[in-house]
Amino acid sequence: MSAKPAPVLDLDARLALASAVMGERITLAHLAVDINTAHLPAADPLPEITAPPHIVPQPEPCPYSTPIATVLWRAQQRLQEYGWLRGQLRDEQGAACAAGHIRAVAHGRDEYEDARAVLLEVVRRDFGADGIPAWNDAQTSPAPVLLAFGRAAELAHTRQQ
């Protein structure tokens, strides 16, 4: 008598058989870890992992004590923080042209006009331009605008403005 051939298993049957074998192996591995580490002293629980505290950078103190120099210095800081624009006063993200940054930090129209007048004087003297808007729009980067703000703040400070 010949032995009957084993039936061919379909995919589902083979997967079920493999799952049963793997389950048994995992159970044995788990028991082996428990047995092999039973003699070790219990470790302290892991400390809770926390994120480092959020550090908010403190703004740099203004080096000027005069009001117009302070406005020009704050406009320079604002330009560095929010960005510089050409062709428009400001955008939704806070970027602005030179005059837009002065307007954003000045307290009232008089401070705004006085700060613009000092900046215009520096722009005319150092850059040979006739007006702030045209000069601002002619720049290819914010570097000359930042430089002009710094020079204007120094000029206003020496004049006690």
Q: What angle do CA 149, 102, 88 make, to 5 degrees?
A: 100
Residue-level pLDDT at 56: 77
Say if 109 falls within a structural domain.
Answer: yes
Judge whether 154 lies within some domain: yes
Please give the C-alpha separations between residue 49 and each of 46, 52, 85, 105, in angstroms, as whole numbers.
Answer: 8, 9, 43, 42
In a domain, 87, yes or no: yes
Give the pLDDT of residue 59.
Answer: 79
Q: Tell me if 144 is assigned to some domain.
A: yes
Measuring CA to CA, which residue among 92, 98, 81 is closest to residue 152? 98
Domain assignment present for 113: yes
Q: What's the pLDDT at 1?
A: 59
- Give the residue numbers spanning the domain of 139: 67-158
In a domain, 37, yes or no: no
pTM, to two decimals: 0.64
Q: How many separate domains does the chain show?
A: 1
Query: For every one of its 161 residues, what pLDDT tens digit does the chain have, with 9 covering 90 and above?
Result: 577 887 888 999 999 999 999 999 999 999 998 888 887 777 667 777 787 777 777 778 999 999 999 999 999 999 999 999 999 999 999 999 999 999 999 999 999 999 999 999 999 999 999 999 999 999 999 999 999 999 999 999 999 87
Asked if residue 41 is part of any domain, the answer here is no
Residue 8 domain-assigned? no
SS3 152: helix
